[in-house]
Structure 1
Amino acid sequence: MKKLLPTSTAGSLPKPSWIAEPEKLWSPWKLEGDELVDGKKDALFLSLHEQQHAGLDIVGDGEQSRQHFVTTFIEHLDGVDFEKRETVRIRDRYDASVPTVVGPVSRQKPVFVEDAKFLRQQTTQPIKWALPGPMTMIDTLYDAHYKSREKLAWEFAKILNQEAKELEAVGVDIIQFDEPAFNVFFDEVNDWGIATLERAIEGLKCETAVHICYGYGIKANTDWKKTLGTDWRQYEKIFPKLQKSNIDIISLECHNSHVPMELLELIRGKKVMVGAIDVASNTIETPEEVADTLRKALQFVDADKLYPCTNCGMTPLSRGVARGKLQALSAGAEIVRRELSAK
């Protein structure tokens, strides 16, 4: 019997202070060489323990071995020069100094497969692994080679597909592609964004997910959210096509955001990871608040397809706050589970 309302996180969790400066994106490593290799494993093990202790049903690596959810993957590819930097506008919101694509992109060796293998050895629970999606990858680079967002996205999709197949082979159950860019470039998403995502999942037998959020709780994102008004309907532009896509699960931001729940009707039939934890606030939700978000979602998502989750990654939060939020997620899901079984 598969558990109803299986809980998980969107991906990243805070890192221990001995490996990187906490509550900070792109925080440099405090260790190097073999110590860093061991330190990453220790942090991953600790992160797994915290997820299990909080009662999560689907676990991940907490992205403990990566500095950033996009650039760490790109660092391992050929064709991208990290010394040659340009300033670009990321997701039409903030400027960042990014590496340059200087030649054909390719992947010579697996990026996360050893980490996934290590995680698989530690637990029998279902594992979800996050990879950056093609559109979000191109949005975090300066392209001096292909000079076409679409062309570069197709190249990245092929590379992601190679990585995903190897992750599946070492026992990953759900492979999630992070595509916050899907909430910004609607025409491109419909023209080729979803198609490149489908290329990235080609031939996979494990479950696949796409995570589309309004971003980490950093100032550039929270400022942007203030400009969106009281009704966030961005998802409306891309849901119809996603509903028809081959992606199994759609992961969304719901709690404390102004996303109208009825938009979930547009993806009826898909499994939905409903973000019931706000990652842009240090306030720890009560289990009842989590349950309330899930109940609202259940009007538009069948109970056997609803996966309670966090809105986004938790890297910028303190470990104590993240811990409290994960426990609230589990407890809130349990409240609704009991209500459903009483029916």
Structure 2
Amino acid sequence: MKPLLPTSTAGSLPKPAWLAEPETLWSPWKLEGNELVSGKQDALRISLQEQQQAGVDIVSDGEQTRQHFVTTFIEHLSGVDFENRKTVTIRNRYEASVPTVVGPVSRQKPVFVEDAKFLRQQTNKPIKWALPGPMTMIDTLYDAHYQSREKLAWEFAKILNQEAKELEAAGVDIIQFDEPAFNVFFDDVNDWGIACLERAIEGLQCETAVHICYGYGIKANTDWKKTLGTEWRQYEAVFPKLQKSNIDIISLECHNSHVPVELLELIRGKKVMVGAIDVANNHIETPEEVAQTLRHALQYVDADKLYPCTNCGMAPLPRDVARGKLHALQAGTEIVRKELAKNDC
């Protein structure tokens, strides 16, 4: 049973320095072969322990076994050539060297299922597993085969559905699809992006979530945020259709952002993972700062549907900062739980 206001993280947590370069995305592994396999499992255990020590209610692997939230999944698929790389602009924001789709994409074997089974063995708490969403996947590739964003997205949706069903069978309680691209390509999201996401969750009995944020706390993202003005209304373009979708939970960025909190009214009735921790700086929030964000959200989200969370992944942060932020999330949530209990008396 989950408590009222169950806490979780949006995804990644920092890796130990002996496994990968700290505070770096796409950091190469420092171990090889069997040492890498056992090192990843050790890192997963540590990440889980830190979440549990902080009191996090819905735990995850902290993405310890993957270099990147999108490309690690893609590199296990056929039809994608990682040697033949092209430079593309990701989410209309920054350039990156990415692999090329050279033929029909398919999944030959499970990607994260063994890791999920390992996590399930380590804890009795509810676990959440993150997968990249179809639209964010196509935005992280150069397509030389399908030459259609929509066609490739539908193929990825089928593949993701295969993986998600096996993750559910492995004991995952919530499967989250990361779709930061939903904050950029609004017409595509409404025309076919949400439909693709629904194809990815087809037949699942576990809870499903879509995580839509403004990105990691890296310079390309923080610079982009400075161009968005005093009100960030991107969610307004996609929330109405998401509210009518089959997705159970919508995960969004809230704390320290310029997202008008009243936009949450557009997804009234959905469960909402409210980002109450800023991942774009090293300031560790006070419990009261977290509590205030949650109080604002409770004006538009019923208490039994509010899941306190982080704005995004924390992989680029120092480990002690991420650890402190986890404790702040839980402490701030506890303040609001007590307030709600008192009001019910």
Equivalent-residue separation in structure 2 for 1:117 and 1:95 (angstroms):
35
Q: Which residue of 2 aligns with 1:82?
A: 82
C-alpha displacement of 1:123:
0.5
Letter in 2 for 1:55: G
List gaps (5 residues or longer) in structure 2: none
C-alpha displacement of 1:305:
0.1
Q: Which residue of 2 aligns with 1:194?
A: 194
Q: Which residue of 1 aligns with 2:287?
A: 287
Letter in 1 for 2:162: Q
Q: Which residue of 1 aligns with 2:135?
A: 135
Q: Which residue of 2 aligns with 1:247?
A: 247
User: What is the RMSD of the two structures over their aligned residues, measured on CA atoms?
Assistant: 0.4
Q: Which residue of 1 aligns with 2:108?
A: 108
| Structural mapping, 1:117-128, within 5 Å | 117-128=117-128
Equivalent-residue separation in structure 2 for 1:111 and 1:53 (angstroms):
28
Equivalent-residue separation in structure 2 for 1:141 and 1:118 (angstroms):
30
C-alpha displacement of 1:235:
0.1
Q: Residue by residue, what CA displacement relative to the aligned partner does 1:257-282 show, whole Å, maximum 9, x if unpaired?
A: 00000000000000000000000010
Q: Which residue of 2 aligns with 1:234?
A: 234
C-alpha displacement of 1:76:
0.2
Equivalent-residue separation in structure 1 for 2:283 and 2:172 (angstroms):
32
Q: Which residue of 1 aligns with 2:34?
A: 34
List gaps (5 residues or longer) in structure 1: none
Equivalent-residue separation in structure 1 for 2:110 and 2:103 (angstroms):
20
Q: Residue by residue, what CA displacement relative to the aligned partner does 1:140-178 show, whole Å, maximum 9, x if unpaired?
A: 000000000000000000000000000000100000000
Q: Which residue of 1 aligns with 2:99?
A: 99
Q: Check conservation: 2:139, 2:181, Cα contact below 8 A.
A: yes
Q: Which residue of 2 aligns with 1:268?
A: 268
Letter in 2 for 1:283: H
| Structural mapping, 1:318-333, within 5 Å | 318-333=318-333
C-alpha displacement of 1:319:
0.3
Alignment partner of 1:238: what SS?
A: helix
Equivalent-residue separation in structure 1 for 2:201 and 2:268 (angstroms):
21
Letter in 2 for 1:105: V
Q: Which residue of 2 aligns with 1:166?
A: 166
Q: Which residue of 2 aligns with 1:216?
A: 216
Alignment partner of 2:106: what SS?
A: strand
Q: Residue by residue, what CA displacement relative to the aligned partner does 1:281-334 show, whole Å, maximum 9, x if unpaired?
A: 100000000000000000000000000000000000000000000000000000
Letter in 1 for 2:201: I
The total of aligned residue pairs comes to 343
Q: Which residue of 1 aligns with 2:68?
A: 68
C-alpha displacement of 1:43:
0.3
Alignment partner of 2:176: what SS?
A: strand
Equivalent-residue separation in structure 1 for 2:63 and 2:151 (angstroms):
28
Q: Check conservation: 2:2, 2:57, Cα contact below 8 A.
A: no
Equivalent-residue separation in structure 1 for 2:122 and 2:89 (angstroms):
40
C-alpha displacement of 1:84:
0.1
C-alpha displacement of 1:4:
0.2
Equivalent-residue separation in structure 2 for 1:220 and 1:46 (angstroms):
30
Equivalent-residue separation in structure 1 for 2:39 and 2:168 (angstroms):
25
Alignment partner of 1:126: what SS?
A: coil
Equivalent-residue separation in structure 2 for 1:76 and 1:43 (angstroms):
21
Equivalent-residue separation in structure 2 for 1:69 and 1:309 (angstroms):
18
Letter in 2 for 1:263: L
Equivalent-residue separation in structure 1 for 2:95 and 2:19 (angstroms):
27
C-alpha displacement of 1:2:
3.9
Equivalent-residue separation in structure 1 for 2:158 and 2:39 (angstroms):
31
The structure 1 segments of at least 4 consecutive aligned residues displaced by more than 3 Å after TM superposition are none
C-alpha displacement of 1:198:
0.1
Alignment partner of 2:46: what SS?
A: helix
Q: TM-score, normalized by length of structure 1? A: 1.00
Q: Check conservation: 2:47, 2:62, Cα contact below 8 A.
A: yes
Equivalent-residue separation in structure 2 for 1:121 and 1:61 (angstroms):
12
